[in-house]
Structure 1
Amino acid sequence: MMSESNPIERSFEIAAERCEDITPLVYRRLHSEHPETLTMFRTEGSEPVKGSMLALTIDAILDFVGPRTGHFRMIECEISSHDAYGTPRDLFIAFFGIIARTLRDILGEDWSPEIDKAWRNLLGEIEALVAQTAPA
């Protein structure tokens, strides 16, 4: 069922209708825009890890913009764990923008001003959350 009230959820639903798995598209863009990420994943066997990481991120995003039942807290937890991995915080933030731009490409003309505004607001909120979270 299409969510009329939540533009971010709607963007994921439309993308799911058009693309069976956005994981390769997201990581292709990540590695293209941030080549330093290529060394952050094993060359073999990392596909399930990437898929899981993206799935958890999407769950956290949908909870963050929706009911906030608890999954959104994963974003805060992952800030700390990525700090421990040595992931620069600007790269952590960039991952969310990469998801948004990948969805925008998939949605094409269906990427509405409402969806765009919701994603820009979300990205700003995530950037603020990262800024207020003390480094590990």
Structure 2
Amino acid sequence: MTASSNPIERSFALAAERCEDLTPLVYRRLFESHPEARTMFRTEGSELVKGSMLALAVDAILDFAGERSGHFRLIASEVSSHDGFGTPRELFVAFFGIIAQTLRDVVGADWSDEIDAAWQKSLGEIESLVAAQ
């Protein structure tokens, strides 16, 4: 496998080598940091919803941090959708930071300053995009 020159892609690749499914780790961290988010998920069938939401978020993040060919637009459209569900925008934005924090834990010592800087830049841009909606 050739390492990507994109630090965010590289962080996901490193995590994939170490963890088969990030979903339970991301949502455990989300619910610990934001207990109010737990009530936003129904008890039955929520595992599929969580996995799907995370997969869409990852696709959007990778596109946002890369070519910006279109998937990143999902972030802007989901802001409106989540507004309809009553999700505070701060929580919506926090989800992306939760993903980064989870990756950092999984990647461990291989989480470089370059990866961290790329994530911080991207998270700031995502926050600005959400605020502009």
- Equivalent residue letter for 1:38: R
Distance 1:129 1:69 in 2: 16
Q: Which runs of 5+ in 2 are unaligned?
A: none
- Equivalent residue letter for 2:110: D
Cα deviation, residue 75, structure 1? 0.4
Say if 1:15 and 1:103, in contact at 8 Å, map to a contact too: yes
Cα deviation, residue 15, structure 1? 0.3
SS of the residue corresponding to residue 43 of structure 1 reads coil
> Structure 1 residues 17 and 40 mapped into 2: Cα distance closer, same or farther (>3 Å)?
same
1:117 matched to 2:117: yes
Aligned twin of 2:25: 25
SS of the residue corresponding to residue 20 of structure 1 reads coil
Distance 2:52 2:3 in 1: 24
The C-alpha deviation readout for 1:94-118, integer Å capped at 9, x for no partner, is 0000000000000111010000000
1:44 matched to 2:17: no
Say if 1:11 and 1:115, in contact at 8 Å, map to a contact too: yes
- Equivalent residue letter for 1:82: H
Aligned twin of 2:104: 104
Aligned twin of 1:86: 86
Distance 2:31 2:2 in 1: 31
Matched-pair identity in % = 72
SS of the residue corresponding to residue 70 of structure 1 reads coil
Cα deviation, residue 127, structure 1? 0.6
How many residues align? The count is 133
Q: Which runs of 5+ in 1 are unaligned?
A: none
Aligned twin of 2:131: 131
- Equivalent residue letter for 1:64: F
RMSD, aligned CA: 0.8
Cα deviation, residue 67, structure 1? 1.2
The C-alpha deviation readout for 1:63-110, integer Å capped at 9, x for no partner, is 111111111100000011111111000000000000000000001110
Q: TM-score, normalised by structure 1?
A: 0.95
